[in-house]
């Protein structure tokens, strides 16, 4: 199945997975970019944003749990985030934290908050519509996810 065919399925979990990858890239880039400011609050939120990018990486590309040496506790926590509702909640919390960065000051972390919120909405729509989580074949597909679980 090509990427175009995946998007044509109208399964919001695929949209959420790709928005999650974009969110990961944004969180990583904006976390690094904002960590070099002179405002302590922004530095804290950018460090959290940077940490979220690695969490998203393990959530969206489950093959990494097999490859990277991580603790069993971390693996169990990441494996809990497997349903659409749990993914929506996880992205919602990460998005809320980045929205709270506005309290510390205006920064480009708002872009990460927007994408994290959009990802949470996609996963929530997939859950409400009763769509099963379908992993993109481009990112490893269902075969890799079955092997890990």
Consecutive 10-residue averages of pLDDT for the chain (149 residues)? 62 87 94 91 93 91 80 85 90 95 91 95 92 69 48
The pLDDT, as a whole number, for residue 58 is: 87
Identify the pLDDT of residue 149: 45
pLDDT at residue 1, as a whole number: 56
What is the rounded CA–CA span in Å between residue 103 and residue 5? 42
Q: Which residues contact 119 (CB under 8 A, 6 or more apart)?
A: 16, 19, 20, 23, 91, 95
Please give the distance of CA 49 from its chain centroid, rounded to a whole number.
11
User: Radius of gyration (Cα) for the chain, nearest Å?
Assistant: 16
Amino acid 146: pLDDT: 46
- Residue 72: per-residue pLDDT: 85
CA 116 to chain CA centroid, nearest Å: 7
Calpha distance 33→7 (Å, rounded):
31
Taking CB atoms within 8 Å and a gap of at least 24, the contacts of 53-58 are 53/24, 53/25, 53/27, 53/28, 55/90, 55/94, 56/20, 56/21, 56/23, 56/24, 56/27, 56/94, 57/24
């Amino acid at each position: 199945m090509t990427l175009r065919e995946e998007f044509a399925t109208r399964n919001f979990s695929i949209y959420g997975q790709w928005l999650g990858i974009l969110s990961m890239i944004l969180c990583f880039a904006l976390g690094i970019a904002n960590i070099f400011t002179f405002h302590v609050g922004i530095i804290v939120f950018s460090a959290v944003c940077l940490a979220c990018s690695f969490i998203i990486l393990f959530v969206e590309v489950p093959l990494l749990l097999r490859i990277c040496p991580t603790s069993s506790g971390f693996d169990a926590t990441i494996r809990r985030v497997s349903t659409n509702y749990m993914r929506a909640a996880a992205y919602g919390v990460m998005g809320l934290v980045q929205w709270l960065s506005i309290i510390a000051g205006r920064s480009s972390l708002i872009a990460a908050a927007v994408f994290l919120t959009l990802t949470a909405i996609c996963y929530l729509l997939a859950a409400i519509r009763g769509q099963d989580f379908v992993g993109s074949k481009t990112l490893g597909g269902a075969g890799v996810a079955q092997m890990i679980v």
